[in-house]
Amino acid sequence: MKKSTQLARQVIRAIGCANGLAGRQLGCENAVEVIKASTYLAGVQTRLPLEWGKIIEEVNTGRHASAMSGVTQTCRQLAHETRQVIENKEELLVFGGDHSCAIGTWSGVATAMRPVGDIGLIWVDAHMDAHTPDTSDTGNIHGMPVAHLLGFGDKTLVKIGDRLPKLLPHNLCMVGIRDYESAEQELLEKLGVRIFYAHEVEKRGIQDVMQEAQYLVTRNTIGYGLSIDLDGFDVSYAPAVGTPSADGINALEFIKALLTIDLTKLIATEIVEFLPRFDDTQRTSEQLVSSLVEYIYKTKQFQINSVNEIAQRVSTSEQSQKITRAM
């Protein structure tokens, strides 16, 4: 029981990345400041051992294609921080701005875990984010992180952390996809990435989809991550996004689904694309961010504690049997 208690109080280290220059609209760079000051998150912190670590301020080299150098420098800093948290064996939670920060988050996690195995990733999003600089019409790098994590695109970005791809295609699942371009789709489908389009989520239900996704990203890995873009959800649950898309995931059903999947192998969580100035008067999006954190980590703690308690009972039973046989 002592071991279970220690795990239950393991620090959840929150790293912030205040970046927004790579997005379609400015504003996501303010997300970390708002989340850190959130009264909703403060309530969560009374129930979870959540502690803030470093907040990375983005390097400004311009917008669109001109942002490439700044994004590279920002992601290098973020990768350094996420790698340290993993190597310190703390729970990792990243609050990002625009989704380009995923290159930094998962490059750090992948390189930290490289000595023991590959990582998987469930990418919850309305978009594929799988453009490269050559295929993107806008040059917005928040639409490119998946391609770079798979090893395609700007040679400097793909080599953050180490020279190897940070994700293998069969270890990546995309959930809720409904707004994308043909170049992205062609790349991902050619590589064999499992894409759960919105129509499949609607037909099967998010619980069934998440259970399959969790299986797929853990069958060949030592653990997995969750990268959650708020625009993956229906706008009624997450109005504060810069690239809204209709017919998104029901956030309440998603949270219920979290209670049914195995989170014991969850290595890290990333929540991005919260654009505070677009939130409603009820701060619906801000509340969703806090709820996601609470339900993910309380569920994980419960699952780990349950596994440890069962293991302890089995061990005690085996010891009793040995004593009985010895007598």
Residues belonging to the active site: 99, 125, 127, 129, 142, 229, 231, 273
Residues in the chain: 327
Query: Which of 94, 177, 93 is CA-nearest to residue 143?
Result: 177
Per the listing, tokens 């969703």 go with 288
The string over 273-302, giving b where at least 16 C-beta atoms fall within 10 Å of a residue's C-beta and e elsewhere, is bbbbebbeeebbbbbbbbbbbbbbbbbbbe
The string over 206-243, giving b where at least 16 C-beta atoms fall within 10 Å of a residue's C-beta and e elsewhere, is bbebbbbbbebbbeebebbbbbbbbbbbbbebbbbbbb
Measured between alpha carbons, how far is 179 from 306 in angstroms, rounded to an integer?
39
The answer to whether 19 and 145 are in contact (CB under 8 A) is no
Q: What is the DSSP string of 119-159?
A: -EEEEE-SB-----TTT-SS--GGG-HHHHHTT-S-HHHHT
Distance, first Cα to last Cα, the chain: 28
